[in-house]
Amino acid sequence: MMLELLLFGVVLVGGYFLLHMTFFKLPRCKSTAKLHGKTAIVTGANTGIGKTTAMDLARRGARVIMACRDRKRAEAAIQEIVQETGNSQVIFMQLDLASLKSVRSFADNFLQSESRLDLLINNAGLITSGKTEDGFGMIFGVNHLGHFLLTVLLLDRLKANGPSRVVTVASKAYEMGKVDFNLLTTQKELGIGNGDYQLFQRYCHSKLCNVLFTYELAKRLQGTEVTCYSLHPGAIKTEIGRYSGFWWKLIMTPIIFLFFVDADSGAQTTLHCALEEGIEHLSGHYFTQCAPLLNIESKARDDAVAKKLWELSESFCGLS
């Protein structure tokens, strides 16, 4: 009996690692591009996918602006990146995406101190309850609206240094998302309720906003040398759920441990969209596993909804 149990355990563990090496294994960015003389901004760069992305860009020689809320954590990440890559051009700049004032301040500081911008990586994201400084739902405010304003404020600098790119980390969760404009207009929120599932639903809605934003942005960038892409990074072990409730963590922790992959794997599609040559004609598209997903759901290509979301976002940010 003991031998049978041992053999079963060996088969189970072997099968698990086989799955990780095949089914769960994500493709890697194959670009050999060097970025000396180029400048990149990465939001949420002090941890997870953002940190791995910043590390790779620094290793390629880029000047990397770590756009983060927490100075202490960002500076610790910078120290590690500089030590690992030998690139001392890794800079912290304060950015709190939950404050439109902070986004404006960041953009002003960047435009005054930096002469160029080649890559804007809208990476930061969260799942939590509460409101932003401006009264928006936290998930909507950080995951979409803060990045929307940041991108718009930096577009002229991106255009001036073309060819340049905007890469926004979305998620396959967009498939479960919708945009309720009535709720957004009246409540400045993507959903109601503060339970873990309601917050997850709101996250899905925000990821659909990311995809629609990129789709509309590409239209508005036609005729320029700026291209943009949204993407699904994969099922990744990150700190995005650190504010989740006890029961959600209890359910999700073993699933994440067993079936999700590391941040290095999760950064590969971001890097592909940022660096791969010859994808300029795919501006506005959604990528997964380092390739465009051409049969994306129709709600992510709804011209009227994308336009309305853009115009409402402009209004929320005081741009119109």
Annotation says 197 is catalytic: no
- 68 and 96 Cβ atoms separated by less than 8 Å: no
Say if CB 59 and CB 85 are below 8 A apart: yes
The separation between the first and the last C-alpha atoms of the chain, rounded to the nearest angstrom, is 73
Cα–Cα distances in angstroms (integers) from residue 175 to residues 32, 110, 142, 151, in the given order: 32, 35, 20, 24
Tell me the torsion sign for CA atoms 279, 171, 242, 145: positive
> If we measure between CA atoms, which residue out of 26, 80, 25 comes closest to residue 54?
80
Collect all residues with Cβ–Cβ distance below 8 Å to 255 and sequence separation of at least 6: none
- Per the structure block, which two tokens stand in for 13? 């563990």
The Cα–Cα gap between 186 and 132 comes to 16
Q: Are 33 and 251 in contact (CB under 8 A)?
A: no
Helices (H), 60-146: 71-85, 100-113, 138-140
Q: Which of 16, 197, 203, 286 is catalytic?
A: 203
Torsion angle in degrees (nearest 10) through CA of 243, 205, 94, 62: 110
Q: At what angle do helices 303-316 and 147-160 cross, to 10 degrees?
A: 100
Please give the positions annotated as active site.
203
